[in-house]
Amino acid sequence: MSDQDATVNHDYGASDITVLEGLEAVRKRPGMYIGSTGERGLHHLVYEVVDNSVDEALAGYCDHIEITILADGGVRVSDNGRGIPVDEHPTEHRPTVEVVMTILHAGGKFGGGGYAVSGGLHGVGASVVNALSERMDVQVDRGGKTYQMQFHRGEPGRFSDGASGPDPGSPFSAFTESSVLDVVGKVAKKKSGTRVRYWADPEIFLASAAFSYEELVERARQTAFLVPGLTISLVDERERAAGENAEKEGAEGEAPHKGPHTETFRFDGGTVDFVDFLAPDAAVTATMRLTGEGTFAEKVPVLDAESGHLVSREVERTVAVDVALRWGKGYETRVESFVNIIRTPGGGTHQSGFEQGLMKVLRSLVESNSRRLKMSAKDPRIEKDDVLAGLTAVVTVRLPEPQFEGQTKEILGTSAVRGIVSGVVERELGAILGSSKRDQKTETSRLLEKVVAEMRARVTARMHKEISRRKNALEASSLPAKLADCRSEDVAETELFIVEGDSALGTAKLARSSEFQALLPIRGKILNVQKASTADILKNKEVSEIIQVVGAGSGRTFDLPAARYGKVIMMTDADVDGAHIRTLLLTLFFRYMRPLVQEGRVYAAVPPLHRIEVSGGKGGKKRYIYTYSEDQLHAELRKLERAGKSYREPIQRYKGLGEMDAHQLAETTMDPSRRTLRRIRMEDEQALMEAEAVFELLMGNDVAPRREFIVEGAAAVDRDRIDA
């Protein structure tokens, strides 16, 4: 028997049972209420306070909310709603402000008539924020007066602040006998509202946790979209208001913004504006708004006015549905779902109902237009991925007391919502897409063609994937005959060079290492996939062969682990035509093999522009210097002149890769130990959005914006920049 075993207390009695009172449970297990004690939880506190103000806006009593990140790390949220009631609570016999802020399940969201719908933690949020704050000050404007109550880690009392103003470290005196709601000022009689100022408790939260300005901006903007007519201001009083993007903001000659910074959001178009904001690509359809409602009955505990207790009763719930959606030319899907303005990243019954209604409408339309779409009985059925390709949608529902899967409300669980949302989508979207108006018929036709093209692309991509994987000699024989493959099957070391023209191919075959370097020649300029339809893309021999050789499929079915090469390298001439071909290839990779780009597996070779032949070397041997720009050329020539070295004139300028012999091509462009490659990648979501915009501008169908771009930039272009 060990010493440890000897010390175990085998007695287990009533004294071993701990009862956590008041807000102690929250402080003991904060993750149960806010998800984490890191940055995520820190932001969650802000959202809970803001959501209480938003509930006032949803009820029609508030039209402005201001969120302030204080310089000392505190947060202040102000609204012009009705204000928390300031009279004594009839059953608790203490100020209602204290009841709301200190009792977990106290609020106006339990069927008492205060709110029809609400976000937040349903009466838990305010008290949870209070429990996890080192200090909280609540001020209420009502009836011509400003009332105040202060709390220290959830306990009501008063702080003795000095001349420097409110400080969570100020001396605190807790109320001992009874709580007092102090009157601290006067306001106009018609003015009302609530201000909550708090400092998150450093005993609870990680020292590394800090507010992200960008995330708070995103949340404020999102809320403004979802509540039309509501103005939300975000003020950051910290030293550097722009956070992570401060350096970027100052990149164009302006100093990064310091000190207080305010952004204000208001969107009267609601979910339609939200979808237009989120959509990353050119439109196939206009943005459509689908609205409706439905009812369902459920048995829930309701507060009985006479007894003051909860009793089980069957109540009728009304679900309001508001959906905005549009299809774009791309294949990426972005569906954002919300319940009472609370984002549900895990989806739930409202999102599944939306997808269900969507599938019913589109399948029905495809079947009724099968002849025009050239669909036959042999064609596979339309699947969800075909319909969702290129879709941007915002799905919102509002209902009293929604049931979520988990305290942090990431997934809606109320089962009746699925059928209601599906019915609204089926009815409203069917009416729009089935309209006999000429413009709408044209738009519907484009959408159906896109859905069918996505189905065929999916089938073709799956077939490509199956036939392109190199597992044995027989399978390898199905690859394009012009592919000069490598011997190694180790993806980590293999490289695919896409070579411009047969002339460069011949030289590249001699210059490469056949062990790990494969060559695929292309003839001139490939198809611009940004402007082409999916059907045209699949018919194009060059594009089809590139997809086949890479071996991972395309579009939504692209499977990165199936890619046959670790690097895909575009090796084109260092001229205008070569740059154009690179751009066309990049458009293909970005549109249909995007994970390759995102993982940094696409490269551009950097061939030299000049070769300087230097004479008078050791033993009279000639030496060669390669340069990659005009500036580098002139710099090398000046070095040689200062050193008294002679060089042969004229300087050789390469017009294409075909002018190099195998040794020169290997030395400058293909040998991993001596070459230079430019990696193509996207670092973050912002870079992705910028790339989407650039590809659409430069490679899309609209000529006018591209012409405007060229005209605006022409003044900044000179010969030196072109040559570089």
- The residues carrying an active-site annotation are 500, 573, 575, 577
C-alpha–C-alpha distance, residues 674 and 676, integer Å: 7
Those residues with Cβ within 8 angstroms of residue 53's Cβ, 6 or more apart along the chain or in another chain: 62, 65, 77, 79, 81, 194
Give the strands of the sheet with 342-343, arranged side by side.
288-303, 310-327, 391-398, 334-339, 342-343
3-state secondary structure of 307: coil
**Do 539 and 560 touch, CB atoms closer than 8 A?**
no
Element (H, E) at 194: strand 193-200
Residue 35: name the closest of 132, 134, 151 by CA. Answer: 132
DSSP string, 367-435: HHTTTTTT--TTSPPP-HHHHHTTEEEEEEEE-SS--BSSTT--SB--THHHHHHHHHHHHHHHHHHT-
Token reading at 182: 């102090």
Angle 466-469-474 from CA coordinates, rounded to 5°: 95
Number of Cβ atoms within 10 Å of the Cβ of 508 = 24
Name the one residue in this structure whose structure tokens are 């400003």: 146
337 DSSP assignment: E
**Do 97 and 264 touch, CB atoms closer than 8 A?**
no
Token reading at 577: 């035509």
C-alpha–C-alpha distance, residues 326 and 328, integer Å: 7
Distinct helix (H) and strand (E) counts, the chain: 24, 23
DSSP string, 369-388: TTTTTT--TTSPPP-HHHHH
Strands 193-200 and 652-653: unpaired
328 DSSP assignment: B
**Do 50 and 39 touch, CB atoms closer than 8 A?**
no
3-state secondary structure of 256: coil
Residue 83: name the closest of 105, 114, 118, 41 by CA. Answer: 114
C-alpha–C-alpha distance, residues 75 and 67, integer Å: 7
C-alpha–C-alpha distance, residues 704 and 200, integer Å: 52
**Do 465 and 400 touch, CB atoms closer than 8 A?**
no
**Do 522 and 594 touch, CB atoms closer than 8 A?**
no
| Amino acid present at 113 | G
C-alpha–C-alpha distance, residues 604 and 717, integer Å: 23
**Do 290 and 424 touch, CB atoms closer than 8 A?**
yes
666 DSSP assignment: I
Token reading at 194: 């609530």
Rounded to the nearest 10 degrees, what angle do helices 349-368 and 416-433 cross at? Answer: 30
Query: What is the distance, to the nearest Å, from the Cα of residue 663 to the centroid of all Cα atoms in its chain?
Result: 47
Provide the greatest CA pair distance for the chain. 111
Phi, psi of 52 (to 5 degrees): -65, -40
